[in-house]
Chain A
Amino acid sequence: MNLRRAANVFSSLRLTVVLLGYAMVLIFIATISQVHMGIHEVVQQFFRSWIAWWDVMPGERRWDLPLPGGALLGCMLIINLLAAHGMRFHKRKGKAGMMLIHLGILIMLLGEVFTGLLGKEAQMTLDEGQISHYSIYPRDVELALIEPMADGMQTVHAIPQSRLKNGAEFSFPGLTLRVDRYLPNSEILEERIAGKDFEPLRATAGAGLGYAVRSLPRETAMDRRDLSSAFVSIIADGGGEAPRLLLSNVMRGTQAFNVAGKEWNIALRQARLYHPFSIKLLDFSHDRYLGTNVPKNFSSKIRLLNPETGEDREDLIYMNHPLRYQGLTFYQAGFANDDKTTILQVVKNPAWILPYVSCVMVSAGLLWVFSSHLLKAIARRKNSVSS
């Protein structure tokens, strides 16, 4: 009986209305919160979470109110839709339109699930004349342990940000890395001018000698990045001294160290998305309306080189005209360095087609429903006239 009652609840129209009501409230609050949180944090905290903790008075007093997150609402709507179809809707020809509409909505909901799970969003920053075969994730860092090889290549062990926790250890052939302290966002200052609120931990070797670090709240603005830092100890398999390095994504390049006569490099850097092709920026143009700083057009003239397919061609990326290549879309996202550097947003979304399919299905379903009602109404009118 309990199962039946639960099924009745899950399939009820009342639940649909409640869920849609919550969705409206969530969208409204997320829109307001976007002002101080930034769009990325809002998407993560409100729409891709099961429970959305809403900071009611941001910047004044920490008072979080729990709300059903987008993931919870989406899953509940999917269950509600399936349950309603299983229990209440009759499979009749006349209901085909409604089925199509609901299937379209289901695909739309699933599309967001797949986008959240499979989608990737990175950036490629190129100076004029520079060539690159990887993009970076502006909001994620990775701890890269690099083993230079004799053939000019290097073996990279990339530890993702989610694994960087205080006390975490990672073993590699010949050595173990221990994360003594990881700060997702931080401030680094010279030890002599650092205040008392800086952490007492210090590096014992490397480029971070003489610097102090303190933790900061995560950056939320779209145009700012976290300055992540980590104190990492290098423990050789044979024991002995374990130097502690200060690593940060603000440091350029890598830091080198030796373990048992073998040279390694290590860096805390933005997580990378490698491509099997390269892109070279030939020229970046930033046109403005005359007499103003209002942008008229941004465009990046690029050269695409793919050694696997032998492709070597030029393309122009500009607003609303991205480059689509190998499942990736390169949008013109920004510029820097006095218009000599382009910033391309690199988006991978295997589920990009689903919203389009969904819209077509919902449109067709609505057309079906309205047409059938119209035809019935015409038929009734004819009957009443003839009778």
Chain B
Amino acid sequence: MPSVIRRMEVKVKPNVMIRLRGERMVLSCYPMPSPADREFLVLSPGGSSPRLRNGGCCGLLDFVMRSFDWILLVCCVLCCGCKEPVRTYRIAADPEAPAVSAQIPDEKQEKAAVTWQAMPGWTQESAGQFLTAAYTINGLGRLTVSKLAGDGGGLAANVNRWRGQVQLEPLPEDQVQGQAMPVTGSTHEFLLFNLTKKSPATDEEGIFAAVLPLERETWYFKLTGNAVTLQEKGAEAFTSFLSTVRVGGDAAPVAPEPPQPAKPKIHVTSPEGWIAAEPGTMRVASYTVKGAAGETADVSVIPLPGNSGSILENVNRWRGQVQLPPLSKADDPALGSEMEGEAGRWFVTHMVSNEAILDGKKVAISAAILKAGGMTWFFKMTGDAVVVGEHRAAFLEFVRSATLP
């Protein structure tokens, strides 16, 4: 019995193949059938009716291609003709208040609420991502200013973070208490922290920190340096700097100042031409002295309780501020001299920087120290070396004429 061929494929043209699948004969064309192929198909004899298949989806594609312009047209009409409808719906009334007036959105950025003044001789450095400002203080360390939103993670958490940085044990939250210091011209106050060991090694680091909590943010002022140096001369520099900090901008309205503790008194007579300035928290008197070319110098009168360091320590601190090397001996003639005044026996000193460190000019300091009545009085004129030199005689007279009540 002859075998029945059930499957057969015959390539009749390069792109046309006839496949026999059981009872059906299928013509496959790759790619599209040409009119000649169609003609061939129609004319081809065969028992079963042949069916044109344009290789799988080609029938659909053929239809799409034939109708492409129509489909495109319909799509364009649909896309262009469709208008978003006006929606109408019922809804519960809004709780919003009726319009009162047209308003322009408040686009002003929140102004820096806190400002400060860097001390002469400090070098500002790049603050980086996390700091607002940073300064290098010769012979003392690095002072940084930063601001965090809200309470910055909490007072205790931050203080203990700093304690960890200087190898101090963390404190329980209830024992983290800073010394309050009012902010000049404001009801706000700093919380001061001395994060140095009682007897630090010479190479150990310490931190003096001040935290200023405001309504929406917390400011951090941090002086980091050698712990021994900080203990010796950091307190005055740090508190002097803090006395320049002002809270303004968008801060809450300032209430009347609470009564301040009475400052120690001294009677001074300012020389002619000196301009009295706002003394601030630390100072009892403050003046601005102007030179012939418009340069200025600052005169301050600051009382500090107790001994407030030796003469050598204070002179070396000032020498550091004008970038002079420290003196090692208490009897060094460069230290200064003594002078009799109305209030007692003064120690007076004068120093000029070797380099031009302030706007391309040399800086000089004339200072006088008086220890009397359990207080140490610091009279100091700092600024352009020429101005300080011109007014040195007037400064010494100013010191000499000061009288204690």
Residues of A within 8 A of B (CB): 1, 3-4, 6-8, 11, 82-83, 85-89, 91, 148-149, 152-160, 162-163, 170, 187-189, 206-208, 211, 227, 246, 248, 250-256, 265, 267, 274, 286, 288, 290-293, 338-339
Contacts and interface: CB of A to CB of B under 8 A. Distances in A.
Interface stretch (B101-109, B244-252, B369-377): B101-109
Contacts of B393: none
Contacts of A274: 89, 91
Interface in B37-51: none
B149 A288 contact: yes
Contact of A85 (B57, B66, B98): B57
Contacts of A159: 86
Q: Considering residues B87, B158, B161, which has the most beta carbons from chain A within 10 angstroms of its beta carbon?
A: B87
Contacts of A286: 149-150
A154 B94 CA distance: 9
Given A4-B34, A153-B93, A291-B148, A251 B102 contact: yes
A173 to B, nearest CB: 11
A254 B96 contact: yes
A159 B83 CA distance: 11
Nearest to B31: A87
Contacts of B54: 86
Interface residues of B, number: 46
B169 to A, nearest CB: 18
Given A4-B32, A207-B99, A252-B103, A156 B91 contact: yes
Given A87-B55, A87-B61, A338-B216, A211 B152 contact: no
Contact of A291 (B31, B99, B104, B161): B161
Contact of A88 (B31, B149, B152): B31
B97 A252 contact: yes
Contact of B150 (A187, A256, A290, A339): A339
21 contacts: A3-B65, A7-B32, A7-B65, A8-B31, A82-B57, A85-B56, A148-B93, A154-B92, A155-B90, A156-B91, A157-B87, A158-B87, A163-B86, A207-B101, A250-B103, A251-B102, A252-B99, A254-B94, A267-B99, A274-B89, A338-B149
Contacts of A4: 31-32, 34
B61 A339 contact: no
B93 A154 contact: yes
A338 B151 CA distance: 11
B84 interface: yes
Interface of B: 30-32, 34, 54-58, 60-62, 65-66, 83-94, 96-105, 130, 148-150, 152-153, 157-158, 161, 216
Contacts of B97: 252-253
Q: Is the interface of A mostly helix, strand, loop or mixed?
A: mixed
Contact of B91 (A154, A162, A163, A251): A154
Contact of B102 (A149, A160, A248, A265): A248
Contacts of B30: 87-88
Contacts of B66: 3
Contacts of B60: 86
Nearest to A161: B84
B144 to A, nearest CB: 11
Nearest to A289: B153
Given A4-B34, A293-B149, 17 more contacts: A6-B65, A7-B65, A86-B61, A88-B31, A155-B90, A158-B89, A160-B86, A163-B83, A207-B100, A250-B102, A256-B98, A274-B91, A288-B148, A290-B161, A291-B148, A292-B130, A338-B149
Nearest to B89: A156
Contacts of A288: 148-149, 152-153
Given A149-B90, A162-B83, A91 B56 contact: yes
B216 A253 contact: no
B156 to A, nearest CB: 11
Contacts of B100: 207, 252-253
A163 B84 contact: yes
Contacts of A206: 99
Nearest to A248: B102
Contacts of B55: 86-87
The 7 tightest CB contacts between A and B, nearest first, are A86-B57, A160-B84, A86-B61, A253-B99, A290-B153, A158-B87, A207-B99
A227 to B, nearest CB: 7
A341 to B, nearest CB: 14
Contact of A252 (B96, B150, B157, B216): B96
Given A253-B99, A254-B96, A339-B149, A227 B105 contact: yes
A308 to B, nearest CB: 15
B103 A251 contact: yes
A62 B198 CA distance: 69
